[in-house]
């Protein structure tokens, strides 16, 4: 584990590849990318990373035992590739019930609101559930990060609990939604709920997850 295997998908007119980043490509996501508060304000980051920080992150990630990270690459007509972001399954833990925490960012703002995060959430979720057998993926979103909340919800994440006043962003303290996405396959679902009756919101989320996995089976190529 460390960097995840290559997955490809079309998102509108874009060809998106999830694949390991390279040390050389990191520069393109920090400057201006991660050095802008408009990109990092919902990430719990209050510093501007430099190339040295990113190389340190790269080396730590490369050797991590409990993480799967992908670069988000835009593939051009002549197969040239530009790194525009990253997505990850962090803190992968557990044996019988394997869980992880997901995260994503698109550092280049010109690619926001094009459906890219929605697509990569579905691809990563499909990989986590159907290729790695995870039972549950957690995520957390600050109030105000509408695109992130929406993309996760569409994928099949649902609210577990709210933490109040976690972070000060743009003039006010923000609550944080803690979300989960459960593996909808019969066996995982039964293992998770152990005879309890899941609530309506969980059943609705399961349906959205099933639809996301169908989308991924149809649209994602795992090379």
Chosen residue from 10, 23, 46, 150 binding ligand COA by CB under 6 A: 150
Residue count, binding to ligand COA (CB under 6 A): 21
The yes or no reply on residue 15 touching ligand COA (CB under 6 A) is no
| Cβ proximity of 126 and 216 under 8 Å | yes
The yes or no reply on residue 117 touching ligand COA (CB under 6 A) is yes
**Window 37 to 56, contacts with ligand COA (CB under 6 A):** 39, 42-43
Residue 67 Cβ vs ligand COA, minimum distance, rounded to whole Å: 16
Strand 99-106 to 136-142 pairing: parallel
**Coil, strand or helix at 25:** coil
The yes or no reply on residue 141 touching ligand COA (CB under 6 A) is yes
- Output 99 or 191, the one with its CB closest to ligand COA: 99
N-to-C CA span, the chain: 17
The C-alpha angle with vertex 144 and arms to 122 and 112, in degrees rounded to 5, equals 50
Residue 134 Cβ vs ligand COA, minimum distance, rounded to whole Å: 19
| Cβ proximity of 72 and 87 under 8 Å | yes
The yes or no reply on residue 132 touching ligand COA (CB under 6 A) is no
- The burial of 207, by beta-carbon neighbours within 10 Å (0-12 exposed, 13-18 middle, 19 or more buried), is given as exposed
Residues lying near ligand COA in the complex (CB under 6 A) are found at 39, 42-43, 104-106, 112-118, 141, 145-148, 150-151, 154
């Amino acid at each position: 584990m460390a960097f995840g295997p290559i997955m490809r998908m079309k998102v509108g007119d874009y060809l998106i590849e999830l694949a390991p980043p390279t040390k050389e490509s990191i520069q393109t996501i920090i400057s201006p990318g991660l050095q802008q508060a408009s990109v990092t304000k919902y990430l719990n980051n209050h510093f501007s990373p430099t190339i040295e920080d990113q190389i340190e992150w790269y080396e730590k990630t490369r050797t991590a035992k409990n993480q799967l990270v992908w670069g988000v690459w835009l593939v051009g007509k002549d197969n040239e590739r530009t790194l525009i972001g990253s997505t990850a399954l962090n803190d992968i833990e557990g044996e019988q019930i394997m869980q992880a925490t997901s995260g994503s960012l698109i550092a280049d703002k010109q690619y926001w609101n094009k459906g890219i995060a929605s697509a990569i959430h579905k691809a990563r979720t499909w990989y986590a559930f159907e290729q790695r057998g995870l039972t549950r993926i957690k995520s957390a979103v600050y109030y105000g990060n509408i695109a992130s909340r929406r993309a996760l919800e569409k994928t099949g994440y649902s609210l577990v609990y709210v933490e109040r006043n976690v972070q000060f962003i743009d003039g006010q303290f923000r609550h944080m939604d803690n979300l989960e996405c459960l593996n909808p396959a019969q066996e995982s679902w039964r293992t998770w709920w152990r005879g309890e009756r899941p609530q309506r919101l969980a059943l609705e989320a399961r349906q959205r997850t099933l639809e996301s996995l169908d989308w991924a089976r149809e649209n994602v190529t795992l090379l």
